[in-house]
Structure 1
C-alpha cells in the first residue's frame, strides 16, 4: 500500500498539489514527446512558448484579469519587487512620493526598501496593536505616486479581506498590492488595483517565479536608474522573454493553473471553489484554537488570515514537545517565524481539508495529554 504523504504546513516554499508533482515527475525526462525536459528547453523555442502561452491564458481566465492588465512572469520574488515597483512607479508624479500602509513584517520591509528610490510616508501603521489588527486612520498624500499594501501578512497572520477603495479615501493614486501569499486563493476586485505582484512559492509553484499584474497605463514611467530587465514596459513588450525567464517555474505554475481549473468543491469550480475550501479550512482551525485553553491566536477576528494562522501555546515550555509530536503524526513545518515565535500553520490552496482536520485532531489530543 502506498504510504500517504505528510501534511506540509510550510509558509513557503509550500506544498504543491500531489497530482501536479506526479505529472511533473512523469514529464521530467521527456515533455510530451519533445525528447527534452522542460528544464532543457530554449525559452524562445516553440515547445516552451506553447507552455508559456497556455499558462498566461489560464491564469488570466482563473482570476478574470481584465484586458487592460499585462501579466508579467519575472524573477526575484516579492522582496525584489519592493525595489522594482518604486523603480517603475515612483515617477508617476513629480516628487516621487509613495504611501505605504504597514500592516505587518512584510509591508514594513516594503517601506524600508522603497525608501532607497522614493519619498516614503507611512500612511498607517499597525505597530500599536503589535500587528494583530489592520491599521486605521490612513493619512494619504494627494500627490502620492501610488499606495502600497500587503494584502496578507504571512508572519503576523493579518489579511485584508477586502481591498481598500482609495477613491473613497480621497486618493486618485493607483493601489499596489503585494499579494504573494494570497494570489489565487480568492477572487480579486481588479477595479481597485493598479498593480499586484507576488512570489509564486505559496499557492502557485516553486521559488524563483514572480507574477506581476500591471495596468498598461502604468507602463513606461521607470526611473532612469531602473535596470532594463526590471523595466515593466520592456518586459511587457518582450512578453516576459526579455531575459531568460524561470522556465521550469512557469511550467509548474501552468500545471497548477490546470489543476485549479479542474478543481471542484461545494458545487463550485476554479477559484470560487478553492476560496470556499480555504474559508472552510480556516474556520475549522480557528474554531479549534478559540475553543482551547492551551492555544491562542492573537489576531483580531475581522482580519484573520485564511492562509497563515499563527498560534501560541500558553505554556511555552511545551513548544518542543508539541513540534516533536506533530512530526510523529506527519504534520510538518509548524514552527512559527523566528521573529514572533510560537507556531504557524500555513494552509494554502494545496492543503486539503483532511490536512487541517488532522492538525485539529492533534491539537485536541496534545491538549488532552498535556492539559
Structure 2
C-alpha cells in the first residue's frame, strides 16, 4: 500500500461500517482508506465467510479489521482476508467492550504487548499485504508514556507496518464502551511524541477528530488521521477529503450526485434481496444546513423500513432536499 494512503481513513465501527456504508463512503471520497467492522477470528473460521468478508470492488482501498489473540488463528484469518482481496489486515487492540474483554482481545491486549507482537509476527508471516495495529494510549492505571511505547516497539519489531492510535485511555473497569469514547481525556500530544520517537513508522491519529480541517491539522505532526463518528454521522464531511487532504477533485460535486451514483449498487442489492433500509440507514446524516434535510431523514426512516421498499423511496427522499447544492455548500 502506498504510504500516502494512510493520510486519511474512516475508522472501523461495529454495526456501522458494513459493506453498504463503505460503498457509500467511496462515492464521497476516492482516496480515503476504508475499514471493515471488527470481525473475530472465530466468526471467520467457523462462519459464513462470503457473507462476512465479501465486498464490492469499488471499496478499494479497504482494510479488514480483526479481533483475536491466538497467533495461529490470526495468521489463518489474515491469509483468508488477503485471499478475499483486502488491501490491509488490521489487528484491534483498542476496543473496550465487555464482549471483547471476555474474549481476550481488543483493548485488554494493551497489557500483553509480547502476545500482540507474536500475533503480528504470525500475521506478517502469512500475508504479503500490510499488517497494522489499532490501539489506545493505554488502559486503566497504565502510564501512557510507558504502555504505548512498550506496545509500539514490540509490534514494530515484529513487522507491524503502521500504528493507528486512538488518543485516549480505555478504562476496562468502571466505564461502558460508550463512555470510553468520550470520558477519558484526549491526549493528542502523546501520539505526536510517539511519532517523533518512531520517525520511520507510519503513525495515524484517531479519536474525537470533528472534521476534515482538524484532520488536516494533525498531519503537521503525524502521517495520517482517522475519522470515526464524524465521518459516519455527518458523511457530507467526506466530500471535501480528496480536495483538502489529497489535492484532487472530489468524485461528486454534491451529495445528491453521490446518492445518484449509488443507484446502480442499490438496484443490484435490491435484486439480491437486500432490504432498502440496510443501505439507506447510512444516509440519514447526508445533508447539513440544507433545506429539506429533516424531511429527507424522516422519509427514509418511515418509508425505507417498509417491506418491499424500493429505489423510489430514496428518490422521493432526495426530492425533499433543497436546491442542488455543491459540496462546499453542504459543509
Give the TM-score taking structure 1 as reference length: 0.28
The structure richer in helix per residue is 2
Structure 1 or 2, whichever has the larger Rg, is 1
Give the TM-score taking structure 2 as reference length: 0.31
